[in-house]
Amino acid sequence: MSTRIDFRYLSEPDMIAAGVADMAACVDVMEEVFALYAAGDYRMAGPNNDSHGARMTFPDEPPFATMPRGDDERRFTAMPAYLGGRYGTTGVKWYGSNLANRDKGLPRSILMFMLSDTDTAAPLALMSANLLSAMRTGAVSGVGARHFARPDSRVAGVIGPGVMGRTSLAAMAAVLPGLDTVQVRGRGAASLEEFTAWVRAELPRIREVRVVDSVEAAVRGADVVAYCATAKAGEVDQYPMLEREWLKPGAFVTMPAPANIDEPLEHADVRKVVDSYGLYEAWAIDAPPPTHQYVGIIGCKFLDLVAEGKVRRWEIEELGPVVTGEADGRRDDDEIVLLSVGGLPIEDVAWGTHVYRTAVERGIGVELPLWEAPAMA
d(CA 109, CA 73): 9
Expressed as residue numbers, the domain containing 340 is 138-344
Domain CATH for 29: 3.30.1780.10
Q: pLDDT tens for residues 318-368? A: 999 999 999 999 999 999 999 999 999 999 999 999 999 999 999 999 999
Give a yes or no: residue 376 inside a domain.
Answer: no
Helix (H) or strand (E) holding 93: strand 89-97
For residue 85, how many other CB atoms are within 10 A of its CB? Answer: 13
Give a yes or no: residue 185 inside a domain.
Answer: yes
281 and 167 in a common domain: yes
Digitized pLDDT (tens) for each residue of the chain, 377 residues in all: 899 999 999 999 999 999 999 999 999 999 999 999 999 999 999 999 999 999 999 999 999 999 999 876 789 999 999 999 999 999 999 999 998 898 899 999 999 999 999 999 999 999 999 999 999 999 999 999 999 999 999 999 999 999 999 999 999 999 999 999 999 999 999 999 999 999 999 999 999 999 999 999 999 999 999 999 988 877 899 999 999 999 999 999 999 999 999 999 999 999 999 999 999 999 999 899 999 999 999 999 999 999 999 999 999 999 999 999 999 999 999 999 999 999 999 999 999 999 999 999 999 999 999 999 999 98
35 and 173 in a common domain: no
Task: Domain count for the chain, please give it.
Answer: 2
95 and 185 in a common domain: no
d(CA 258, CA 235): 10
353 and 323 in a common domain: no
Give a yes or no: residue 353 inside a domain.
Answer: yes
Do 75 and 57 touch, CB atoms closer than 8 A? yes
Q: pLDDT tens for residues 293-320? A: 999 999 999 999 999 999 999 999 999 9
170 and 95 in a common domain: no
70 and 12 in a common domain: yes
162 and 302 in a common domain: yes
Q: Where are the alpha helices (DSSP H) in 40-184?
A: 130-148, 163-175
Do 166 and 201 touch, CB atoms closer than 8 A? no
Q: Which of 159, 172, 139, 300 minimizes the C-alpha distance to 227?
A: 159
74 and 206 in a common domain: no
Give a yes or no: residue 377 inside a domain.
Answer: no
Q: 130-148 and 345-362 helices cross at what angle (nearest 10)? A: 110
Count the alpha carbons within 13 Å of 282 in the hemisphere toward its beta carbon.
19
Give a yes or no: residue 332 inside a domain.
Answer: yes
